[in-house]
Amino acid sequence: MLPESLNRLEEKFRIYRSKLYATDETPKLIAPRASSDFVVLKPQNTQEVAEILKFANEMKIPVFVRGGGTGLSGGAVPISSGIVLSTERLKEIKIDEKNRFADCGAGVTLYELEKAAERHGLSFPPHPGAETATVGGMIATNAGGMRALKYGTIRNYVLCCEVVLADGSILEVGSRTLKNSTGYSLLHLFIGSEGTLGVITKATLKLFPSMRGSVGVVAAFESLEEAAEKSLELTKLLPLSLELVEDRAVKIGEEVTGKRWPGEGKAYIFAIFEDFEDSEMASDVLRMDVYVATKKELKDLMSIRGSIYEGIKDKIIEILDVCVPPAEVPKYIKMSSQIARKYGVDVITYGHAGDGNIHQHPLIYDGWEKSYFNFRDEIFNVALSLGGVISGEHGIGTVKKEEFRRYYAKQYELMKKIKNLMDPNGILNPGKIF
């Protein structure tokens, strides 16, 4: 139960109790159960975040930081009695056109960031799915997404952050420079720390000149394995993104959007290039005809690809998110399909083949509770045996923490020590990662 002392906060902050803050986008069957005993605070600036943390630390009250609530691993769910700290009001955004930096409050959404950059003739290349994701959330989870192939995940775009530590003190990490060699990179320690080391309140992100172009290419194949084999060759052309999509996934996206995907196959490669020349070379590299999309068509393709999750999310147990070395994708697809057949699990596959980050979507089946976690463990073991990891971009959150502890015991131990050092009372997003 939340302590009486919460009254002290009520004098200063409006306290919300909306159940909308109890969940994120994690598929229901695997999502953690929210506590029925949490309050929501919406600080308006860094000072208020600092006050809340100072108070929570003194009182040893758990603080669950929340950005856009678009996470897929239960990271934002308040799983015990405590405070949900929503960054939604940290909204200031300033585009520094000359430096091509965006100075953002943690609550700025991906959509707002993209629009602001565009107004200044600039762009923010990565695109981690949900446009309601926030800057703070994308950094705290080191979000990836489709366009992480050429220029990397969010990690590569963050120059500095303002963070509030567990005791309420405010720290700047990183700098507004493109290079920095002043001691350990505390910045990179916070990137991907899932709200467990501090609350990100501001960040400076690197922008790019407007993309010179983006040309979509679609190639159809007889099987997912064949598409996977071919996709590796295409990476030589350094596309912005390189997706592998099963036909069933395409059909779901078509249904949701009412739009049409080109070609007929069991599986597709969908690549985006910066230059038209490269898109032409794609045909040579693949030694086959490819469909080159017009600008308008590319929008439709993106929209179909982006809508698959919406159409599928109520039918699946979860989204697997393993990442393997790119050259191992064909083998991974083959081996994981065998495991799926063995367990009788029907899996719909699409994902970022170019960087080896494959999303597999096991459909709900009767009695799944009995065999699913064995199936999943076998999948994880295949990924690990190929040099892969159990999460490429969705993070550990609550949904993979047992496996994380098991498979990464040594690293876990050191991470836990760092966690204890920086949050001795364990108030920051407890029950996540660890």
Out of 242, 324, 333, 345, point to the residue binding its own copies (CB under 8 A).
Answer: 324
CA distance 421 to 423: 6
- For residue 341, give Cα distances in angstroms to 271, 276, 362, 377: 29, 41, 11, 15
CB within 8 Å of 283: residues ≥ 6 apart: 289, 290
Out of 19, 33, 94, 176, point to the residue binding its own copies (CB under 8 A).
Answer: 176
Residue 185 region by backbone torsions, left for phi larger than 0, else alpha for psi between -120 and 50, else beta: beta
Q: How far does CA 354 lie from the centroid of its chain? A: 16
- Shortest CB 5 distance to its own copies, Å: 28
Under the criterion CB under 8 A, does residue 408 sit at the interface with its own copies? yes
The strand order across the sheet containing 158-164 reads 93-96, 101-105, 199-206, 158-164, 170-174
- Shortest CB 412 distance to its own copies, Å: 7
Under the criterion CB under 8 A, does residue 410 sit at the interface with its own copies? yes
CA distance 27 to 337: 22
- For residue 181, give Cα distances in angstroms to 152, 154, 277: 21, 20, 38
Under the criterion CB under 8 A, does residue 323 sit at the interface with its own copies? yes
Under the criterion CB under 8 A, does residue 47 sit at the interface with its own copies? no
Contact stretch for its own copies (CB under 8 A) within 21-29, 59-67, 222-230, 409-417 = 409-417
CA distance 267 to 246: 4
Out of 214, 279, 357, 360, point to the residue binding its own copies (CB under 8 A).
Answer: 357
Which residues 333-352 are close enough to bind its own copies by CB under 8 A? 352
Q: Let me know if 413 is exposed, middle or buried by CB neighbors in 10 A (0-12, 13-18, 19+).
A: exposed
CA distance 122 to 347: 39
238/364 with CB nearer its own copies: 238
CA distance 217 to 219: 7
Under the criterion CB under 8 A, does residue 29 sit at the interface with its own copies? no
Under the criterion CB under 8 A, does residue 288 sit at the interface with its own copies? no
Under the criterion CB under 8 A, does residue 74 sit at the interface with its own copies? no
Under the criterion CB under 8 A, does residue 251 sit at the interface with its own copies? no
Residue bearing tokens 């350094």 = 238
- Shortest CB 152 distance to its own copies, Å: 7
Under the criterion CB under 8 A, does residue 381 sit at the interface with its own copies? no
Under the criterion CB under 8 A, does residue 398 sit at the interface with its own copies? no
**Amino acid symbol at 240:** L
Q: How many residues bind its own copies (CB under 8 A)?
A: 76
Whether 392 contacts 142, CB under 8 Å:
no
Under the criterion CB under 8 A, does residue 172 sit at the interface with its own copies? yes
Under the criterion CB under 8 A, does residue 36 sit at the interface with its own copies? no
| Closest among 315, 293, 311 to 253, alpha carbons compared | 311
Which residues 119-158 are close enough to bind its own copies by CB under 8 A? 141-142, 144, 148-149, 152-153, 155-156
- Shortest CB 215 distance to its own copies, Å: 16
Under the criterion CB under 8 A, does residue 46 sit at the interface with its own copies? no
- Shortest CB 259 distance to its own copies, Å: 28
Q: Let me know if 330 is exposed, middle or buried by CB neighbors in 10 A (0-12, 13-18, 19+).
A: buried
Out of 69, 126, 192, 253, point to the residue binding its own copies (CB under 8 A).
Answer: 192
Contact stretch for its own copies (CB under 8 A) within 35-43, 263-271, 285-293, 355-363 = 355-363
Out of 327, 341, 365, 385, point to the residue binding its own copies (CB under 8 A).
Answer: 327
42/150 with CB nearer its own copies: 150
Out of 415, 423, 428, 429, point to the residue binding its own copies (CB under 8 A).
Answer: 415
- For residue 41, give Cα distances in angstroms to 17, 44, 48, 356: 9, 10, 10, 39
**DSSP H helical ranges for 344-367:** none
Under the criterion CB under 8 A, does residue 417 sit at the interface with its own copies? yes
Whether 97 contacts 75, CB under 8 Å:
no
73/109 with CB nearer its own copies: 73
Which residues 87-126 are close enough to bind its own copies by CB under 8 A? 96, 98-101
CA distance 20 to 5: 24
Under the criterion CB under 8 A, does residue 409 sit at the interface with its own copies? no
Out of 392, 398, 428, 429, point to the residue binding its own copies (CB under 8 A).
Answer: 392
Contact stretch for its own copies (CB under 8 A) within 8-16, 32-40, 177-185, 338-346 = 177-185
